[in-house]
Structure 1
Amino acid sequence: MTSSVEYTPLDPGHFEQVITLGNEVHGDNYLSMSSIKHIYQKSWHHNINASWVALQNQQIVGFRLTYAHSQWQPDKWCSPEKWPVDAEKVCYFKCNTVSPLAQKQGIGSRLLQLSIERAAQQGAQAGLAHIWLASPGNSAYRYFVHNGGQLIKEHPNKWRHDSLYEGYVCPVCPGPCECTAAEMMLRFK
């Protein structure tokens, strides 16, 4: 029988396991100690943390990394003119990851809901994500749509710069990453 899953806000004691799981699922150098510290800092607004981890037998089996609405700025991969919510009220869903051994248990959806609750408490009205369209079976896109996400725009080569200059190794591209990201928004109630 599978043990129960516990959910808790991300804290520094989780960093090593989050990095390991993130790199196993998304490719080498997807996360580093430097990047997870940066993400963690961006998760906070008004003493509320919007990033979460899922633990099973004290091991991290999933995580949701979320920037507070006040902690990030839209970049060239964003289309705020197409958003149904003011850009200043949008948090950023940086990453959702569930171990392949723990998938199909609702962990990703629960992590998303917990982040939404915290982001709303922080003052956000919606969340933006760049969904990896090359995920196996396009599961990332299907998951986000299932949870209410709406497609805003597709962005080819979203992670190319990271693969050329920051050491990121895409798990599906044989050379520099050429994957397309779906810019998607999920409005809160």
Structure 2
Amino acid sequence: MASDISYQPLSQNDFEQLITLANTVHGGGYLNKTSLQAWYKKGIANTPAKINASYVAYHQNKLVGFRVTFTVGSWQLDQWLTPNLWRVDSNKICYFKCNTVDETYRGLGIGSKMLKLSIHAAKKQGALAGVSHLWKQSPNNSAISYFSKCGGELVKLHPDKWHEESKNGYDCILCGLDCHCEAAEMIIYFDH
């Protein structure tokens, strides 16, 4: 089945299926059309080439995975990031916002393939590294496991990363509307 998976840059034509998959995997209220539109714009370099660092995976006509990546300079540092622990300046780092694979298609290398495609595009956009928050409570800790296998290094653990979002309508699949899941801040340096 892995050979039947096709990959392409994220486009607005993917939004409906992507939102459905995101809210199924992460919980209701995780993503809507307005927030996805903002994410989408942050993934495209503001250059003549308009390089898109976000990708989707399809099996036939079904969207089975997506990777949203924000370009260098399109995202903000906040209290959940520790740039003093990074080996690269934040103005040379992309942000890996979200990676999601349909439960039926996990274990086929889809998440890793989309990450590699995003890294390739992010390098063309000028990134030297990519930082992300991985969901520590993901099934079998799969998020951290796959990201580590792709070269990710743990920077810091952040308890209650998504708590504020849960108070504003995000319905975590584990915690409900009072999310206390932990995020692992991780970074991949592209010189590997």
Q: TM-score range by the shorter chain?
A: over 0.9
Q: Secondary structure at the match of 1:13?
A: helix
Residue 74 of structure 1 and its aligned partner are, at CA, apart by: 1.2
Q: Which residue of 1 aligns with 2:96?
A: 93
Q: Which residue of 2 aligns with 1:178?
A: 180
- CA deviation string 1:92-140 (max 9, x = no partner): 0000000011111111000000000000000000000000001011111
How many angstroms apart in 1 are the aligned matches of 2:98 and 2:73? 17
How many angstroms apart in 2 are the aligned matches of 1:129 and 1:105? 22
1:30-179 to 2 correspondences below 5 Å:
30-45=30-45, 46=47, 47-165=50-168, 167-179=169-181
How many angstroms apart in 1 are the aligned matches of 2:177 and 2:40? 30
- Structure 2: any 5+ residue segments left out of the alignment? none
Give the TM-score taking structure 1 as reference length. Answer: 0.97
AA aligned opposite 1:185: I
How many angstroms apart in 2 are the aligned matches of 1:12 and 1:156? 33
Distance 1:72 1:175, change over 3 A: closer
How many angstroms apart in 1 are the aligned matches of 2:117 and 2:63? 16
Percentage identity across paired residues of the two chains: 48
AA aligned opposite 1:179: C
Distance 1:174 1:33, change over 3 A: closer
Aligned-residue CA RMSD (Å)? 1.1
Contact 1:3 1:56 in 2 (8 A): no
Distance 1:88 1:133, change over 3 A: same
Alignment: residue pair count? 188
Q: Secondary structure at the match of 2:17?
A: helix
Residue 58 of structure 1 and its aligned partner are, at CA, apart by: 1.3
Q: Secondary structure at the match of 1:49?
A: coil
1:7 matched to 2:7? The reply is yes
